[in-house]
Amino acid sequence: MAAHSRIEAITARIVERSKPHREAYLDRLRRAASKGPHRATLSCGNLAHGFAVCSPSEKAALAGDVVPNLGIITAYNDMLSAHQPYETFPPIIREAAREAGGIAQVAGGVPAMCDGVTQGQPGMELSLFSRDAIAMAAGIGLSHNMFDAAVYLGICDKIVPGLVIAALSFGHLPAVFIPAGPMTSGLPNDEKSRIRQLYAEGKVGRAELLEAESKSYHGPGTCTFYGTANSNQMLMEIMGFHLPGASFVNPGTKLREALTREAAKRALAITALGNEFTPAGEMIDERSIVNGVVGLHATGGSTNHTLHLVAMARAAGILLTWQDISELSDVVPLLARVYPNGLADVNHFHAAGGMGFLIKQLLKQGYLHDDVRTVFGQGLEVYTVEAKLGADGQIVREPVPEESGDPKVLTTVETPFQSNGGLKMLTGNIGRGVIKISAVKPERHVVEAPAIVFHDQQELQEAFKRGDLNRDFVAVVRFQGPKANGMPELHRLTPPLGVLQDRGFKVALVTDGRMSGASGKVPAAIHLTPEASDGGPIAKIKDGDMIRLDAVNGTLEVLVDEAELAARAPAVADLSENEFGMGRELFAAFRRNVGHADQGASVFA
Ligand SMILES: O=C(O)C(=O)C[C@H](O)[C@H](O)COP(=O)(O)O
Ligand code: SF4
């Protein structure tokens, strides 16, 4: 079915805008691909180093140019529950490669930060920059140029975006992303958040809070809320980087291992040495990017992707804007209710029909481009399935049912939870920002209240503890942009602002910083650009100024006379504390060179 007319029109606009960049990108990619297989361009010395630890038969194979070699880029570490399962993946991939007549080598590792561990801590000021550092690190691994395809082991917030930027920078190579799957369900996310609010009010102690947190985050796998990490899994499947049905199968299961083996074999099958050559940079085009944005809206995905998708697209010469994202949100229905947009978690989403059901529903009314290339072949129709383990241990893929397994979690395109995706761009005299309202009650979509200005989230938390915030107000938390301090997530603001909102006060947040993909219930205008440290008007707001946040009409205004606002001297913040400690001194060049939020907050362009 042809794509929805508005989606076709927005896609065509992106194609037109991107043309010079995309054409230059594809030209570079095709020149690189023409030199493959890439080992043939290496000297004997290069090769000898590259296969020094391989077996004699592997050396003989790698010395030639007919046996495909798979590069593994791994983001394994024990800090992220989601990435810990990757410890055992390389030997499984190597064995699967051998079974398929190929070879696999770990090309390199990349760093991975758990935003849950660094949330509210100085380390969070490295989080966004870690995306581009991950892309660089993956590039270092791939630059050995020993490979005919690559598989990427990464799941969480900045890791998948960084790996996609690398995969598209090495777009002449096929790229398959291999997930490890979600943690099994523990303490429900809404119960965890209730305990957090009780702790913020001093009604429970640290022991009760730690018990609740530990019951929620209790084992290997991705945290089960629908934050940035699980939005990444959705994106990788709907954009065709995952195999069909791979995203939300729990780690440590036979099906998980079978999917890992299958992904390794599939990557070897789509190299230039075979008949289905699928270079990543040709596979991903404007339609794939639009499909990703559609999936983000249809599932109420993380606001972080208003940064990451822009940066990822740019790596393939595709220019995606917040206006595109906002206009797609206006037409794409919300079909999933997963925490923080509901009470369910990703395991419930998967059990209700998961990605196969979602893609089938969106294809039905042309919300997705079906005529796209994927690692599994041509078109998205083959993704309207559920992957299961057959009696012989092989993967079988069955068409998803017509009905949702739980209509309260995953609904049909005929009966959406909302007629739009709830991720809006905001414009006005404070600059440009974004707001996700899929988790905000309708009566809070418009907030007008006096500003209270803070220069970091700790100040707000202290004011809350002093009892100074029991009133209607808009918290303006500024000097949190990429040039100021790396644009941290300010997710620790969610409990106090949630308590005040539950007490009946009209509260909202306006910041040049970020929120977590797990944030949601409080109206928050985030990613304000230009940021306070870059001449942004947010630096001119004073305590008591009336702020009007209107998510219905997409506006954000400080209600101050234009001449007076222009005449005000911008506030200045002392950021000396943000320049050193916990590695921040290592990222000074990133703070100096990072681009605007609506350009992806990247150091690359
Ligand atoms: O968006 C994602 O995927 C996240 O990683 C979520 C946040 O970064 C949180 O920090 C982790 O959730 P909390 O335990 O509520 O702090
Ligand atoms: S989902 Fe977020 S909090 Fe959970 S392991 Fe990944 S980065 Fe850490």
DSSP calls for 310-325: HHHHHTTT----HHHH
pLDDT of residue 24: 98
CB-ligand 1 contact for 186 (6 Å cutoff)? no
Distance (angstroms) between ligand 1 centre and the Cα of 305 equals 14
| Cα-based distances in Å from 226 to 156, 166, 317, 358, 456 | 11, 25, 29, 15, 26
Does the annotation list 114 as a binding residue?
no
Residue 230 to residue 246: CA distance in whole angstroms: 12
- Nearest CA, atom 5, ligand 2: 80
CB distance 497 to 473 below 8 Å: no
Tell me which H or E stretch contains 107: strand 103-109
Q: Give the tens place of pLDDT for each residue, 261-286.
A: 999 999 999 999 999 999 999 999 99
Distance (angstroms) between ligand 2 centre and the Cα of 197 equals 21
CB-ligand 1 contact for 157 (6 Å cutoff)? yes
CB-ligand 1 contact for 303 (6 Å cutoff)? no
Distance (angstroms) between ligand 1 centre and the Cα of 131 equals 16
pLDDT of residue 560: 98
Distance (angstroms) between ligand 2 centre and the Cα of 247 equals 15
pLDDT of residue 35: 76
CB distance 470 to 500 below 8 Å: yes
pLDDT of residue 66: 92
Does the annotation list 44 as a binding residue?
no
pLDDT of residue 41: 87
Distance of CA 339 to the CA centre of its chain: 16
Amino acid identity at 50: G
CB-ligand 1 contact for 517 (6 Å cutoff)? yes
For the CA of 517, the closest atom of ligand 2 is: 2
Mutate which of 491, 492, 515 for ligand 1 pocket (most atoms within 8 A of beta carbon):
491
Tell me which H or E stretch contains 557: strand 555-558
Residue 81 to residue 218: CA distance in whole angstroms: 9
Torsion of CA 412, 415, 418, 423, to 10 degrees: 30
- Nearest CA, atom 9, ligand 1: 116
CB distance 313 to 320 below 8 Å: yes
Q: Which residues of the chain have pLDDT under 50?
A: none
Measured from CB, residues less than 6 Å from any atom of ligand 2 are: 80-82, 114-116, 156-157, 222-223, 227, 229
For the CA of 225, the closest atom of ligand 2 is: 1
CB-ligand 1 contact for 115 (6 Å cutoff)? yes
pLDDT of residue 2: 62
CB-ligand 1 contact for 227 (6 Å cutoff)? yes
For the CA of 157, the closest atom of ligand 1 is: 3
For the CA of 157, the closest atom of ligand 2 is: 7
| Cα-based distances in Å from 200 to 186, 462, 477, 499, 546 | 22, 11, 19, 8, 27
